[in-house]
Amino acid sequence: MSDSTETGPVLAADGSPLKQSLAKALRREKMRALALIAPLLFFIVLTFIIPILSMLFRSVENQIVSDTLPGTVAAIQDWDTDSGDAPDEIVFQHLFIDLFNADEAKEHTKLGSRLNYEQSGLSSLFRSSGRNVDDIGESFQDPLEEIDPAFEEADFWYDMMNGAGGEGLLEERRAMWEAQEGDTLAGDVGFVPSQAMIDLLPWTTTAYTDFAIWTAIEDEDVVAEEEPWEAVYGALGMDLRNPETVAAIAEYDGPGAAQLQAVVDNLDRLPETSFREAFAEIDEDWLDPEVWGTISVYSPNYTPGYFLTAIDMKLGADGVEAQPEDRQLYIKLFNRTLFMSLVITGSCILLGYPVAWLLANLPLRTANVLMILVLLPFWTSLLVRTSAWKVLLQQQGVINEILVWLGFVDDANRLILMNNQTGTIIAMTHILLPFMILPLYSVMKTIDPSYLRAAKSLGATNFVAFWRVYFPQSVPGIGAGSILVFILSIGYYITPEIVGGTDGVFISNRIAYHISSSLNWGLAAALGSILLVVVLALYWLYDRIVGIDNVKLGG
């Protein structure tokens, strides 16, 4: 005691101040606890949280448009969506180069299916245009080769294009291919565009560089030995449309100068149709401003489009608008999911409450025996219970057979209990009932039965005593059970898929459909994200009412 009157801090055994020493011990304890948790936390973050985040990301991700058509997307920014007319020639020139590359990489069909989600018909538009885009190039290639056969030769092109100073362009186009392919394309191309050519024939050099990178790295061929793609001829045609280029060729004296001059002298032999017209010839729809509106609206890297689709809206040229009636589906499906989950929760309360009450008020030994009847279905495989309901509910099933045998139902008009909402509701109520009974039971267990007796001795009837005294105390149990059942049922997939038919399916079945059948993964991710938000909100509510720590399993 006398120590405490001395000045200075209290010391620990090792001579350091006690406060510091305690803080150190506390810190060590915290670190120890965290070190024990860390492996699992890392594991869950890696195997669960990141996948969920990747789903959230995918629901807004939309890089495919700008990756596949980079030049077109950049050029279309200057187009006035309200002009009521398709964009200018320059956009179509970019489209020619982009679409040709996409066709080589086999990416244009993916873009077509992506845009088809927003406007039907675009898938076939892209597919047919990808097939025919070569023709545009060929319409330039043939006259060029007629003017001078040197244009047929691979080494002529290589000598003309190869040089120095174009490393910037080479890397820029390599990045374009990498975005297009979603893969790295490292390696030596064996070609560097010459600065002189970049200045003289910008389109041609770009197209030739694209060709060179693809040939050298993807096809693993030697650039100097391969005849260029049709796109390069088309690009040369584009360059020659520019009067300044034509004038500049007269002063050019590098490799291929003579051949280029020959072409300039015979310009009238080249086709005169614009690229805009050439594309219109492939498919009229390219002149449709609506098609371009869709491409323009979905050109940014991130889009709310999937979320809007998930709530039956769409991103039109002038902002958000409702989907046409025949494509409205998801709001109805969300409503149905919520409604059926509510019905299932309600029937679970109705069936579970009396049983939980009985279990809570019986002697422990009897209650334990009866509890096995609750736990047995809880432990039985979900597939077993679902197949049981299929056996019971189908048209030739047990229930119908018995009713027909007893003569209550005519053989010709058997009850349709399956492949509709009834089937889903019955089967899911059965499957989720233990999740209602168990939390209800654990809450009711804590209610002192003497309250009821007290109420009755004060003159309450049985009903009043129950309703005014017992029931309010059991509400937390109802809340916990309801939220648990509701959360579980809102995301159910297996049972509705098997007994639900088309009317009794939930939003989760639609998500699975988009993942495995329609392959519209962005929409699946958006639907999943919405569902996730709903569930997390309910989970938060559950945490507020019961606390996560109080989740109990198996009684």
Binders of another protein among residues 195 to 234 (CB under 8 A) are: none
CB of 529 to another protein, least distance (A): 8
Q: d(Cα 250, Cα 240) in Å, to the nearest integer?
A: 12
In this chain, which stretch among 82-90, 143-151, 275-283, 524-532 interacts with another protein, using CB under 8 A?
524-532
Is there binding between residue 184 and another protein (CB under 8 A)? no
Which residues lie below 8 Å from residue 341, measured CB to CB, with a gap of 6+?
486, 489, 490
Is there binding between residue 501 and another protein (CB under 8 A)? no
DSSP single-letter state for residue 466: I
Centroid of chain to Cα 487: 22
Q: Which residues pair with 113 in a beta bridge?
A: none
Of the two residues 149 and 554, which places its CB atom closer to another protein in the complex? 554
Of the two residues 250 and 373, which places its CB atom closer to another protein in the complex? 373
| Residues 39-68, interacting with another protein (CB under 8 A) | 39-41, 43-45, 47-55, 58
CB of 382 to another protein, least distance (A): 6
Q: For residue 67, which phi and psi values (nearest 5 degrees)?
A: -75, -35
DSSP 281-341: HH-GGGG-HHHHHHHHHT-SSB-SHHHHHHTTEEEETTEEEEPPGGG--HHHHHHHHHHHH
Which residues lie below 8 Å from residue 122, measured CB to CB, with a gap of 6+?
112, 115, 116, 291, 294
In this chain, which stretch among 98-106, 195-203, 313-321, 494-502 interacts with another protein, using CB under 8 A?
494-502
CB of 291 closer than 8 Å to CB of 92: no
Is there binding between residue 387 and another protein (CB under 8 A)? yes
Question: Among 165, 300, 491, 501, which residue interacts with another protein (rule: CB under 8 A)?
Answer: 491
Of the two residues 220 and 326, which places its CB atom closer to another protein in the complex? 220
Of the two residues 53 and 454, which places its CB atom closer to another protein in the complex? 53
In this chain, which stretch among 8-16, 105-113, 324-332, 518-526 interacts with another protein, using CB under 8 A?
518-526
Of the two residues 159 and 181, which places its CB atom closer to another protein in the complex? 181
CB of 288 to another protein, least distance (A): 33
Is there binding between residue 130 and another protein (CB under 8 A)? no
Site track for another protein across 12-41, x = CB under 8 A: --------------x--xx-xxxxxx-xxx
| Residues 393-432, interacting with another protein (CB under 8 A) | 394, 396-398, 401, 405-408, 430
Q: d(Cα 169, Cα 187) in Å, to the nearest integer?
A: 16
Is there binding between residue 330 and another protein (CB under 8 A)? no
Site track for another protein across 339-368, x = CB under 8 A: ------------xx-xx--x----------
CB of 121 to another protein, least distance (A): 28
Site track for another protein across 536-555, x = CB under 8 A: x--x---x----xx-xxxxx
Q: d(Cα 422, Cα 35) in Å, to the nearest integer?
A: 51
CB of 68 to another protein, least distance (A): 19
CB of 425 closer than 8 Å to CB of 505: no
CB of 317 to another protein, least distance (A): 30
CB of 171 to another protein, least distance (A): 24
In this chain, which stretch among 209-217, 228-236, 282-290, 377-385 interacts with another protein, using CB under 8 A?
377-385
Describe the chain by its helix, strand, coil percentages, rounded to 5: 75, 5, 25
Q: Which residues pair with 313 in a beta bridge?
A: 322
Give the count of residues interacting with another protein (CB under 8 A). 97
SS (H, E, C) 358-406: HHHHCCHHHHHHHHHHHHHHHHCCHHHHHHHHHHHHCCCCHHHHHHHHC
Strand, coil or helix: 162? strand
Question: Among 381, 413, 502, 517, which residue interacts with another protein (rule: CB under 8 A)?
Answer: 381
Is there binding between residue 377 and another protein (CB under 8 A)? yes
Of the two residues 267 and 515, which places its CB atom closer to another protein in the complex? 515
Is there binding between residue 459 and another protein (CB under 8 A)? no
Task: Take residue 151 and report the two structure tokens written for it.
Answer: 């244009």
In this chain, which stretch among 8-16, 78-86, 139-147, 530-538 interacts with another protein, using CB under 8 A?
530-538
Is there binding between residue 379 and another protein (CB under 8 A)? yes
CB of 539 closer than 8 Å to CB of 486: no
CB of 445 to another protein, least distance (A): 13
| Residues 461-480, interacting with another protein (CB under 8 A) | 462
Is there binding between residue 390 and another protein (CB under 8 A)? yes
Strand, coil or helix: 357? helix
SS (H, E, C) 13-68: CCCCEHHHHHHHHHHHHHHHHHHHHHHHHHHHHHHHHHHHHHHHHHCCECHHHHHH
Which residues lie below 8 Å from residue 151, measured CB to CB, with a gap of 6+?
141, 144, 145, 157, 233, 259
